[in-house]
Amino acid sequence: MENASADSLLQDSLDRCRNAGLRRTKALEEILRVLIQAPGPMTLTSLGAALGSQCDKATVYRLLIRLEEHAVIRRLGFHDRSAHYTMRYADRHDDYLICTGCGSVESLDIHCPVEVLEREISSNSGYTKLYHELQFYGVCPECAR
């Protein structure tokens, strides 16, 4: 991702955190920076590895929970498997395929057909700031072998 764009996304995310009452800490800033620059959803382990010794695993986990509670990030996956975390943005979203065998998560590279339905529901119901999260579950080609 282009640096100017990544910096803008980071600042927007930090503003959302501040508005949610979260303190701006070095750990919070680094977690957001890594998730913004990540090519896809990250597990706690991969996020910890990307952060190196900058943050301990317990701090990272606590911050991920708070960020999810305040809709800054999205948690993907099963409760009994490693969760994956990704940024949540107001102006866009990604939809995912999740393997029920190994728990791998892949972003779907398609135009989301639910967006039209979302606009219609918003228009008819009067709801604002409507959003959806679309996840498909199945068995990946590797697990199917």
Whether the model clears a pTM of 0.85, i.e. scores above it, the answer is no
Rounded to a whole number, what is the largest CA-CA distance in the chain? 50
Is the predicted pLDDT of residue 114 greater than 90, yes or no? no
Q: Look-up: residue for tokens 């597990």?
A: 43
Contact 140, 102 (CB under 8 A): yes
Question: What residues form DSSP beta bridges with 43?
Answer: 84
Tell me the per-residue pLDDT of 38-88, one tens digit each, with 9 for 90 and over.
Answer: 998 999 889 989 998 778 888 899 999 999 999 999 998 776 677 899 999
Q: Supply the DSSP symbol for 90.
A: T
Is the predicted pLDDT of residue 125 greater than 80, yes or no? yes
Q: pLDDT tier at 11 (50, 70, 90 boundaries)? A: very high
pLDDT at res. 93: 78
* Domains annotated on the chain, with CATH: 1-89 (1.10.10.10), 93-145 (3.30.1490.190)
Distance of CA 80 to the CA centre of its chain: 18
**What's the rounded Cα separation, in Å, for the pair 145 and 140?**
9
